[in-house]
Structure formats: C-alpha cells, structure tokens
C-alpha cells in the first residue's frame, strides 16, 4: 500500500480522530445483533492506546438524513465498545461544537471518547467544509479505519483530511490487501453475488462488474427490480422503479458480454413484512398484487448453488432475502452453504451479510470477511475510493 499507516506516525500524547464503520445491525429494542464491525477495529484502537494516544472516535449508524433521530443514536455502541476495550468510553452527545471540543481537549493519554452519530448533521454526507473543520478541531491527527464507508466522500472520511493529516488503521490496511489481492488477478470462474436492500446504491456497480466476472448472481431485494424489468408484476415488493430501464439494459449487456447472469425464477412471497406473515413459494408470474417477495425460492437457490460449485473466486454482498426472519432465511442459507462448500477464494462483505453468515454459522469457511459491502463492490469495480485516496502518501 502506498499510503501511510499508524505504524508510520508518532501518536504518544496526541489526540487521534478515528473514523470507524460501526454501522452495526440492531434489533427493534436497540440491541446490537452483530458486533463484527466493532471488534474488527480493536487492534487499531488498542495499538494507539498502548502508544500513549487518546482517542476521539467518529462513526455513523443508519441513515438519519441529517437529523438527530433517537433511533439512530450510537450510545449502545459506546456501551459495547467499553465492554470490548475493558475501559471507560466517554460519550459526546453531539459530534461537533463546544461540548465535544471541551471533552476532547480534556482527554488524557489512554482515554477514549465516542462522538454521537456523525450523520445527525446534514453536512457530513454533503462533505461540508465548515463541518469537516469543526471535526478536525477535536484532534491532532486522523486515522481512517472505516473501509466500509471509504466509498463515500463524506466530511469525516474525505473533507476532514484537508485539515487533519489522516493515515490508515490496521483494518483499512487489511481490507485493501485482501480485497485487492483477490480481485487483482482472480482465478476463474469468478462469480459475484449481489443481493440486499440498497438497490439504488448498488445497481450502479453492476455495469462494471459485468466486465470482470464470468457469472453474476442477483438475489434479495436487488432481484425484484430485475424481475419487474422482465415485465412481471411484483406486487408490493421492494422495487426501484427509476432503475427499471437500467436493469433492462444490464440484462442485455450481460448477454452481449457472455456473462452468465442468474436471476431468481421463483420467490417466497408474504402478505406483510413480518416474521409471522403468511407466505408461500410462487413462480415469477404469480406474485399476488398485495404481497411482497422476501426471499428467493428453492428452485432459484438450487440453481445459484449449482453455479457456485466450480467457482474459484467469489465476491458476495447482500443477503438473498430478509434473513433476519426465519421464514425468509432459506435462500441466504443455501447460498452461504454453497459458497462455504466451494473451494473458491471467497470474500463476503457488508454489515448484514456478515450477520447473515454468522447466523448460519459459516463465517469460518470464508476466506475474507470484509466489513465493507458497497465499498468492496466499488473497490472490485476498479474505482479509487475517496476515503483511501485522501490518506497521506508514503
């Protein structure tokens, strides 16, 4: 890596601003259901603390759209982080401003301060210069250990580096190495699997992925837009109507480029978005008007698993269905098992994808679990991620 890391800087007695990706899955009561994204940063945090730094940690949770929405407070993260570090984690109720400045100025070596959700301010996602400057005031040096957010040119990821020199943490270094290696010269057949719910965000990467992979499997919420694009009626399923033309064009591009594009041929549909919903398996031409597709069906799962049998490189982001509810977890489970059983080099990324893998107990069968979903897809596309580009050169 041609970027500086925390090994290249002296942090003794300094306040270090660390951007992390603690966008962890939570249940309705606000309990963290998977803390991989927190534990993955512990080597960086412990190293800096041992070297005599104090830490000002910035993160986001969900998409509160620039408002202080209580549901998205990172207070539960502060509690879990304190347990994992075995030391007190102070909490600043606003990530910028007088109180945050006072709290960060009072930090002694070895002390840790977690800032409230950065996305409570709209300037974070807009990469506002003033906001970035306010964040920079909180520390002497910056560290980016948030690979999962490095595809976002946000203030705490990109803008802040104009006021605070920023270097890579150990997690960032590891992600760049593993994701980069696997996709630089992939052993073929190379299969990418895309699912999940962030359709408008991630459908854009497919065009470039088609130039790299031999097979592309699409499931989860992402598949519904492709199903609708083929002319089927999708009832109340999650569909990005603005992306229907793009989906149609991607189906054509896959054919032209000789990529084996696998879309679901059957679905598990439900009468509501709930764990106790009435549900059944239907063909694509039989999705009832008032129902929604919440998982791929068994025939699709079988076809996807078959396509993974002889894969040599697999990159996967986004669950095949609403795996958090048992009735809609079978598709994700089947694909996870097929990836685990193959002898491919496998990279599975994304907060919910990691949680899905752990739920089915197959995490240790994956070559690299990446903390970034969208970030690893964009890295795989060959894009320069703004959060990485902004780090100090060696």
Ligand X SMILES: Nc1ncnc2c1ncn2[C@@H]1O[C@H](COP(=O)(O)OP(=O)(O)O)[C@@H](O)[C@H]1O
Ligand Y SMILES: O=C(OP(=O)(O)O)[C@H](O)COP(=O)(O)O
Active site residues: 37, 198, 351, 374
Q: How many angstroms separate the CA atoms of 233 and 227, rounded?
A: 8
Q: Does 64 bind ligand X (CB under 6 A)?
A: no
- Per-residue x/- marks for ligand X, 300-339, CB under 6 A? -----------------xxx-xx-x---------------
Cβ 152 to ligand Y shortest distance, Å: 5
294 binds, among ligand X, ligand Y, none (CB under 5 to 8 A by kind): ligand X
Cβ(230)–Cβ(183) below 8 Å: no
Residue of 3, 121, 134, 152 that binds ligand Y (CB under 6 A): 152
Report the residue number, 198 or 312, with the smaller CB distance to ligand Y.
198
Report the residue number, 74 or 293, with the smaller CB distance to ligand X.
293
Q: What residues from 206 to 265 belong to the interface with ligand X (CB under 6 A)? A: 220-221, 238
Angstrom distances, CA of residue 132 to CA of 15, 57, 113, 127:
16, 14, 18, 7
Nearest of 179, 177, 176, 193 to residue 311 by alpha carbon: 193
Q: Is 49 annotated as a binding residue?
A: no
Give the H/E segment covering residue 367: none
Contacts made by residues 354-360, CB under 8 angstroms, sequence distance 24+ = 354/34, 354/36, 354/37, 355/25, 355/33, 355/34, 355/36, 356/319, 356/323, 356/329, 356/332, 358/34, 358/36, 359/323, 359/329, 360/329, 360/332, 360/333, 360/336
Do strands 313-317 and 190-194 pair parallel, antiparallel, or not at all (unpaired)? parallel
Cβ 13 to ligand Y shortest distance, Å: 31
Only segment of 234-242, 273-281, 369-377, 384-392 that touches ligand Y (CB under 6 A)? 369-377
Joined tokens for residue 72: 């998205």
Q: Does 189 bind ligand X (CB under 6 A)?
A: no
Q: Does 117 bind ligand Y (CB under 6 A)?
A: no
Q: Is 324 annotated as a binding residue?
A: yes
DSSP 27-59: -TTS-BS--HHHHTTHHHHHHHHHTT-EEEEE-
Joined tokens for residue 182: 């696997």
144 binds, among ligand Y, ligand X, none (CB under 5 to 8 A by kind): none
Q: What residues from 336 to 375 belong to the interface with ligand X (CB under 6 A)? A: 350-353, 373
Q: Does 350 bind ligand Y (CB under 6 A)?
A: yes
Nearest of 211, 207, 260, 251 to residue 228 by alpha carbon: 251
Joined tokens for residue 237: 């399923």
Report the residue number, 373 or 386, with the smaller CB distance to ligand X.
373
Size of the site for ligand Y (CB under 6 A): 13
Q: How many angstroms separate the CA atoms of 216 and 184, rounded?
A: 18
The annotated binding site for ATP is made up of 202, 324, 350-353
Can you give the binding site for ligand X, defined by CB under 6 A? Answer: 195-198, 220-221, 238, 293-294, 317-319, 321-322, 324, 350-353, 373
The annotated binding site is made up of 21-23, 37, 60-63, 119, 152, 202, 324, 350-353
Can you give the binding site for ligand Y, defined by CB under 6 A? Answer: 21, 23, 63, 148-149, 152, 198, 201, 350-351, 372-374
């Amino acid at each position: 890596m041609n970027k500086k890391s925390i090994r290249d800087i002296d942090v003794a007695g300094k306040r270090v601003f660390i951007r992390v990706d603690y966008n962890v899955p939570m249940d309705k009561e606000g309990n963290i259901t998977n803390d991989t994204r927190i534990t993955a940063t512990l080597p960086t945090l412990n190293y800096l603390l041992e070297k005599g730094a104090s830490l000002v940690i910035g993160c986001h949770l969900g998409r509160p759209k620039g408002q202080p929405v209580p549901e998205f407070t990172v207070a539960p993260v502060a509690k879990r982080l304190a347990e994992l570090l075995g030391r007190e984690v102070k909490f600043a109720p606003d990530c910028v401003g007088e109180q945050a400045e006072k709290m960060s100025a009072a930090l002694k070596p070895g002390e840790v301060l977690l800032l409230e959700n950065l996305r409570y301010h709209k300037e974070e996602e807009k990469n506002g210069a003033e906001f970035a400057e306010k964040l920079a005031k909180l520390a002497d040096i910056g560290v980016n250990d948030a690979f999962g957010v490095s595809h976002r040119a946000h203030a705490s990821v990109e803008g802040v580096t104009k006021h605070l020199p920023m270097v890579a943490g150990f997690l960032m270094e590891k992600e760049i190495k593993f994701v980069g290696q696997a996709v630089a010269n992939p052993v073929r057949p190379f299969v990418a699997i895309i699912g999940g719910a962030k359709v408008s965000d991630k459908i854009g990467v497919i065009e470039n992925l088609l130039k790299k992979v031999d097979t592309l499997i699409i499931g989860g919420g992402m598949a519904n837009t492709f199903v609708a694009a083929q002319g089927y009626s999708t009832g109340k399923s999650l569909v990005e109507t603005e992306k229907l033309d793009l989906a149609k064009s991607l189906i054509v591009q896959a054919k032209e480029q000789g990529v084996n594009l696998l879309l679901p041929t059957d679905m598990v549909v439900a009468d509501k978005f709930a764990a106790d919903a009435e549900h059944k398996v239907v063909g694509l031409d039989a999705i009832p008007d008032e129902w929604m597709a919440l998982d791929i069906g068994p025939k699709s799962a079988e076809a996807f698993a078959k396509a993974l049998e002889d894969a040599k490189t697999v990159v996967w982001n986004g669950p095949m269905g609403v795996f958090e509810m048992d009735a809609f977890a079978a598709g994700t489970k089947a694909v996870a098992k097929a990836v685990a059983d193959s002898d491919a080099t496998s990279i599975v990324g994304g907060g919910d994808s990691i949680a899905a893998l752990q739920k089915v107990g197959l995490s240790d069968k994956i070559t690299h679990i990446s903390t970034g979903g969208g970030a690893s897809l964009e890295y795989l596309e060959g894009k320069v991620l703004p959060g990485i580009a902004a780090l100090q050169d060696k």
